[in-house]
Structure 1
Amino acid sequence: MSDDLSRIADALERIAPAPASAPDWTAAEAFVWHTAPDRLDPVPEVARVELSLLVAVDRARNTLLENTLQFARGYPANNALLWGARGMGKSSLVKAVHAEVLRQGLGLKIVELSREDLPSIGRLLAHLRAARDHRFLLF
């Protein structure tokens, strides 16, 4: 009987895992979202390039930077969709813009979400909404 109850409890955990506990937001400026179980892991050192080293993306860079700075200052901002083939520098651009925002003394956390974890974005957003003292850049 207790084995059956254990199996049922395990199955329920897989279907509806316990909510993720809030991370220590002071541990890092960057986090990675993982599922099974849901959690945000701090990334103490982000690999990134300088914004000035990104070439042939001037318009996208300027628009994304302006929009992100506006958002980090607490103003409304537009969502941004960067598209292109794998390896074209989308993540590099986002990380470089984030670094520039931090250099300007604005608090903004960056959260990486893998393609495989997109179905869990609702759970991630609910988790981030609870952190009212922070603004987040998701990529």
Structure 2
Amino acid sequence: MNSARATDWSSAPAYVWDGTAARSIDAIIAPPLELLSGIDAQKERVLANVSRHAQGIAAHDILLWGSRGMGKSALIRSAVAHLGAGKLALVQLSADRLESLPALFVELRDIDRRFWLFVDDLGFAPGDLAGPRRLRSLLEGGVEARPENIRLGVTTNHRSILPRELDSGHSPRHERDAADDELALADRFGLVLGFHACDQDTYLGIVAGYAQYFGLDITPEGALLWAKQRGARSGRVAWQFIVESAGREGMRLPG
């Protein structure tokens, strides 16, 4: 792999950063925005914010939290893909590479392009406050704070990003202080949106949207049986049902 210094940050629609180097990605794999249903309010706000950043005007870092499989990561990828490469590129890094963010900021700060950094499924171990404090500093106020041409999109299962598993021996004041410290990281994100498990009607609506788009002949009964067998209703489960239905009909699907 080429060194990060050799990376051409000007042309590819997306990149993957491994902590010391980047590789370009020819295409962002994401569903079309119109297929992300059941999350209309979140979709509208994320797209508007990412679009503002692409235009070079004021925009927020984004924290998307909540139920698994409801389209948090797909929404970020889809929003960037929808806006096209042009002046905006997606840069994905794993949560265990956060310590390398200052080096990435150095790489990108002088590039004449806007970047959307994407960290999927962020979490910290219970009691780990050093990691969240470092990220808070990078987001706002520290000498290594992210440049103006960069914004972050983070997904997590927890609103506070950290699970609440405090030592029972801690005093109530210590627990309150620790909880405040954890929430302080989430407060650094200007746009925080929750994603919640969908009800039956929403689930069936997601399935129907996919089926119409791909020309599949499905039944609500089949979709509900699939969800029952999976033990969940979500956008991910709906997509898995569509994949199964397409496979049975001998069809190919993107991605």
**TM-score bracket relative to the smaller structure:** 0.7 to 0.9
The residue number in structure 2 matching 1:13 is none
Structure-2 residue corresponding to 1:97: 79
Query: Is the 8 Å Cα contact of residues 16 and 23 (structure 2) preserved in structure 1?
Result: yes
- Counterpart residue type for residue 39 of structure 1: A
Segments of 4+ moved more than 4 angstroms: none
- State the alpha-carbon separation in 2 of the partners of residues 59 and 87 from structure 1: 17
In 2, Cα distance between equivalents of 1:86 and 1:33: 24
Please give the secondary structure, in 2, of the residue aligned with 1:48: coil
User: Out of 87, 91, 116, which is 1:111 matched to?
Assistant: 91
The reply to whether residue 60 of structure 1 matches residue 39 of structure 2 is no
Q: CA RMSD of the aligned region, Å? A: 1.8
Q: Matches of 1:61 and 1:21 in 2, distance apart?
A: 35
Q: Distance in 1 between matches of 2:26 and 2:86?
A: 18
What residue number does 2:62 align with? 80
Q: Tell me which moved more, 64-73 or 22-31.
A: 22-31
Matched residue type, 1:134: R
1:40: which partner in 2?
A: 22
Larger Rg: 2
Q: CA 1:85–1:119 in structure 2 vs 1: closer, same or farther (change >3 Å)?
A: farther
Q: Is the 8 A contact 1:33 1:39 kept in 2?
A: yes
Q: Given the two structures, how large is their TM-score scaled by the length of structure 2?
A: 0.43
Counterpart position of 1:134 = 113
| Alignment match, 2:14 | 30
Q: 1:112 to 1:77 in 2, by over 3 A?
A: same
Q: Which TM-score applies when normalising by structure 1?
A: 0.75
Take 1:86 and 1:22, find their aligned partners in 2: how far apart are those partners?
37
Instruction: Give the corresponding residue for 2:128.
Output: none
Cα gap change, 1:112 to 1:48, in 2 (>3 Å)? same
Aligned to 1:123: 103
Question: What whole-Å deviation, never above 9, does each CA across 1:8-53 have from its counterpart, x for those lacking one?
Answer: xxxxxxxxxxx83141124411000012xx1111011221100011
Question: Which sections of structure 2, spanning at least 5 residues, go unmatched?
Answer: 119-255
* Contact map agreement 1:73 1:106 (CA 8 A) in 2: no
Distance in 2 (CA, whole Å) between partners of 1:85 and 1:124 is 30
Structure 1, unpaired ranges of 5+: 1-18
SS in structure 1 at match of 2:66: coil
Cα separation, 2, equivalents of 1:125 and 1:138: 10
Structure 1 letter corresponding to 2:33: L
Please tell me the residue identity of whatever aligns with 1:118. L
Aligned length: 116
Closer, same or farther in 2 for the Cα pair 1:45/1:100, shift >3 Å?
closer
- Percent identical pairs in the alignment equals 37
The answer to whether the Cα contact below 8 Å between 2:89 and 2:114 also exists between their aligned partners in 1 is yes
Partner of 2:148: none
Counterpart of 1:123, as a letter, is A
